[in-house]
Amino acid sequence: MSPEQMTAGGLPGERPARGRTVAVAVLGVLAVLLAVACVVVLVRPTAVPGESRAEKADDRAVAVQAAATNVMKAFLDVDYRDMDPRVKKVLDLSTGTFKNQYETASADLKSAVDKAHTVASGEVVRVGIGEVHEDTAVAFVAADSQVSNTVIEQQKAQGNDANGKRYYRFQLTLKKVGGRWLLSDLQGIS
């Protein structure tokens, strides 16, 4: 064994004692840090499904989209032979100013629909989300409707092309009330 090997730590191929101590200390510190990290993750996990801000925002957007679809289908559903449950459904999906206006106009609506023998069913083609906050949202709805009434039937009888297809674009303002998204304002978009 050479003098350099003896002063460097002992036998050939053996690490110096000081190097071993440093390695053991570093491994000890890493083990403690790993244990602390495990405790932090178990006590306060950072990725609980459904609890991140982005997931909550996405859940709100999905709920707004579903509410906008439901209220628009109800709004476009017309049958002069049985309007009371249809009016009730729209009112159940509404709140605030829109609900008051619709309720006030419902008698005139029922009368006009009855007089014209109107039957209509709507289909929501697309819903776009404008803004979504904790308790308010704006949605844009493209909807089509198939309408039948006495005027359309007379036009058809005269040989005119009257298919009764209607295309609507609406801006809906929704408000969260009691955990439900309800229609609070409806604007037609041209």
Instruction: Clarify whether residues 111 and 83 are in a common domain.
Output: yes
Instruction: Clarify whether residues 148 and 79 are in a common domain.
Output: yes
Domain count, the chain: 2
Instruction: Clarify whether residues 36 and 59 are in a common domain.
Output: no
Instruction: Clarify whether residues 33 and 124 are in a common domain.
Output: no
- Report the CATH number at residue 153: 3.10.450.230
d(CA 72, CA 52): 30
Extract the tokens encoding 78: 């017309």
Instruction: Clarify whether residues 131 and 174 are in a common domain.
Output: yes
Instruction: Clarify whether residues 66 and 113 are in a common domain.
Output: yes
Going 187 to 179 to 75 to 58, the CA torsion angle's sign is positive
Instruction: Clarify whether residues 39 and 57 are in a common domain.
Output: no
Largest CA distance in the chain: 119
Which residue matches tokens 């709805």? Answer: 141
| Cβ neighbours of residue 65 closer than 8 Å, sequence gap 6 or more | 127, 129, 139
The per-residue pLDDT for 7 is: 46
Describe the strand order of the beta sheet including 165-177 as a list of residue ranges.
Answer: 78-79, 119-132, 136-148, 165-177, 180-188
Task: Answer yes or no: is 48 within a domain.
Answer: no
Task: Answer yes or no: is 94 within a domain.
Answer: yes
Task: Answer yes or no: is 93 within a domain.
Answer: yes
Residue 109: give the domain boundaries: 53-188
The per-residue pLDDT for 21 is: 76
pLDDT in tens, 12-22: 555 556 667 77
Mean pLDDT value across the chain: 86
**What's the average pLDDT block by block, 10 residues per block, for the chain (190 residues)?**
48 59 72 71 60 83 97 97 98 97 97 97 96 95 96 90 93 97 95
Instruction: Clarify whether residues 15 and 88 are in a common domain.
Output: no
The per-residue pLDDT for 6 is: 46
Instruction: Clarify whether residues 37 and 61 are in a common domain.
Output: no
Task: Answer yes or no: is 139 within a domain.
Answer: yes
The per-residue pLDDT for 25 is: 73
User: Which one-letter amino acid corresponds to residue 84?
Assistant: D
Instruction: Clarify whether residues 96 and 70 are in a common domain.
Output: yes
Instruction: Clarify whether residues 18 and 64 are in a common domain.
Output: no
